[in-house]
Amino acid sequence: MRHAVFGKKLSRDVNSRKALLNGLASAILLNGQITTTLAKAKFASSYVEKLVTIAKKNKLSQNRFLASTLSSGAFLKLINEVGPHFEKRNGGYTRIIKLNKRRGDASQMAKLEFVDWDKLAKVTPKIQKKQKSTKATNKVSSKKEKLPKNKKRVTKVKTASKK
Look at residue 155 and tell me if it is in a domain.
Answer: no
Counting every residue, how long is the chain? 163
Look at residue 129 and tell me if it is in a domain.
Answer: no
Look at residue 5 and tell me if it is in a domain.
Answer: no
Reduce the DSSP state of residue 108 to 3 states and report it.
strand
Confidence (pTM):
0.70
CA distance 90 to 130: 37
CA distance 72 to 67: 7
Look at residue 151 and tell me if it is in a domain.
Answer: no
Q: How far apart are the first and last CA of the chain?
A: 95
CA distance 110 to 104: 15
Write the pLDDT tens digit of every residue in 44-92.
999 999 999 999 998 999 999 999 999 999 999 999 999 999 999 999 9
Which residues have a Cβ under 8 Å from the Cβ of 66 and sit 6 or more positions away? 51, 54, 55, 75, 78, 79
Look at residue 85 and tell me if it is in a domain.
Answer: yes
Look at residue 29 and tell me if it is in a domain.
Answer: yes
Q: With 80 as the cut, is the pLDDT of residue 121 above it?
A: no
Structural domain of residue 79, as residue ranges?
A: 14-122
- Binning pLDDT at 50, 70 and 90, where does residue 128 land? very low
Q: With 70 as the cut, is the pLDDT of residue 153 above it?
A: no
Structurally, how many domains does the chain consist of?
Answer: 1
Look at residue 148 and tell me if it is in a domain.
Answer: no
Assign residue 102 the CATH number of its domain.
Answer: 3.90.1030.10
Q: Which of 3, 49, 5, 7 is nearest to 28 (CA)?
A: 49
Task: Give the model's pLDDT for residue 5.
Answer: 80
Q: With 50 as the cut, is the pLDDT of residue 129 above it?
A: no
Write the pLDDT tens digit of every residue in 12-57.
999 999 999 999 999 999 999 999 999 999 999 999 999 999 999 9
Look at residue 32 and tell me if it is in a domain.
Answer: yes
